[in-house]
Homo-oligomer: A and B are copies of this chain.
Amino acid sequence: MRNIRVLTTNEPWINDRPVEIVERKGTGHPDSLCDGIAERISLDYSHWCQRHTGQILHHNFDKVQLVAGAAHITYGGGTLLQPIRIQIAGRGTATTPSGQPIPLAMIAIGAAKAHLRRTMRHLDPDQHCLIDCFAGQGAAQLVQTVTEVTANDTSYGTAHWPLSRLENSVLEVTRFLNEDLRDQCPIGEDVKVMGARVDGEVTLTCAVPLLASLIRNRAQYEEHRLAIQQAIQAHAAALLTRPVHVFVNMADDENQDSPDSVYLTLTGTSGECGDDGAVGRGNRVSGLITPFRPVSLEAAAGKNPVSHVGKLYNVLALQAAKAIVEALPRVRQAQVTLLSQIGRPLDQPQVALAVLHPIGATLATADSSAAAAILNDWLADPGRVQTLIINQAVTLF
């Protein structure tokens, strides 16, 4: 009954293509911070609603803007001159069905702080940030839709599986920087890794902020920068089983000694001075930015997990793609795309498309049918994806 299409493709396999570009913004990047805050607000708001009303009320908190502060950085320290402003927008229901007021603003501000505390070791939201909530009610026309589990927008989601070798390594190097290396080196969380493969040659260009309070002078900065570069190189080479070129902090000015000429931060993020951020401007639900892959421009973070197709269909597409590849050994890669139409039930997309990459020239009809069945199963139960999101069992950025 559902409009499901399964196709095969013979395009060159991603790892065999001559050029590939993959990027990931780390957890402390201003765009990632906004994504994380937006999603945390949606989660906390959803939990509040479930606890007090037994259901999730309509909301979309997928607009958060981070306005950079100002800082005076020196070797050995520095001073924050202006706080980082976090401007929460979005829509939420302000009153429960029984008429009780919902502390929307307080939930949102609290969620933003919780996310920053969990993510950043040297950024104190109370001390360094000024978090304001401008969120209001949604349009009356859209508020109802959440309960009916119909699509609240004409939108689509798309995802592929598995990741390419370069995709994997960019993801893993970023994780390495955000989780492992920060325990060994004086670095912040606002890292960014840009991977490029031209034929067999892989280049990773990394931005890694050092912590001003722990760096006494330019020489020490260089020492650490070299250590970081070598650590990444070793880590990436092991992942990719081939030589990798690694560049760290290419914007540094080699001819100057001043703290302005290198990448130093007080708090671990460039958001403290000069870099703004916004939701939906960074990583996709795969955790990556992949120009040569079909992607959705919808921000998944912050949207309500019940009816917002821009969120649900992206997650569902990734889950279905994974399920197909795991179930069917002769499918090397699956790309799943789902298109909704506003007002129609969530489990009835306008079209659901799986493009499969067979190992070998063609794919057996049975495999196609199996893929269609898997996709059909996932579509039949949107609540499964909702639960994954609510339980934070999937990444969204």
Q: Tell me the A residues contacting B by CB distance below 8 Å.
A: 3, 5, 7, 9, 11, 18-19, 21, 23, 62-63, 65-68, 70, 72, 79-83, 85, 87, 89-91, 100-101, 103-106, 109, 126, 130-132, 134-142, 144-145, 152, 154-156, 158, 192, 194, 196, 198, 203, 205, 207, 247, 250-253, 260-263, 270, 273-282, 284, 289, 291-292, 294-297, 299, 337, 339, 341-344, 350-351, 353
Q: How far is the CB of A55 from chain B (nearest CB, A)?
A: 19
Tell me whether A105 and B82 are in contact (CB under 8 A): yes
Chain B residue at minimal CB-CB distance from A71: B139
Tell me whether A68 and B136 are in contact (CB under 8 A): yes
Among B106, B130, B275, B350, the residue within 8 A (CB) of A132 is: B130
Tell me whether B274 and A137 are in contact (CB under 8 A): yes
Known contacts A203-B350, A260-B140; A276/B106 CB under 8 A: no
Tell me whether A65 and B341 are in contact (CB under 8 A): no
Q: How far is the CA of A249 from the CA of B238 in the complex (A)?
A: 53
Copies per complex of this chain? 4
Q: How far is the CA of A140 from the CA of B156 in the complex (A)?
A: 41
Interface centre among A100, A137, A251, A344 (most CB of B within 10 A): A251
A65 CB contacts on chain B under 8 angstroms:
63, 65, 87, 89, 278
Tell me whether A351 and B196 are in contact (CB under 8 A): yes
Tell me whether B156 and A21 are in contact (CB under 8 A): yes
Tell me whether A19 and B101 are in contact (CB under 8 A): no
Tell me whether B91 and A106 are in contact (CB under 8 A): no
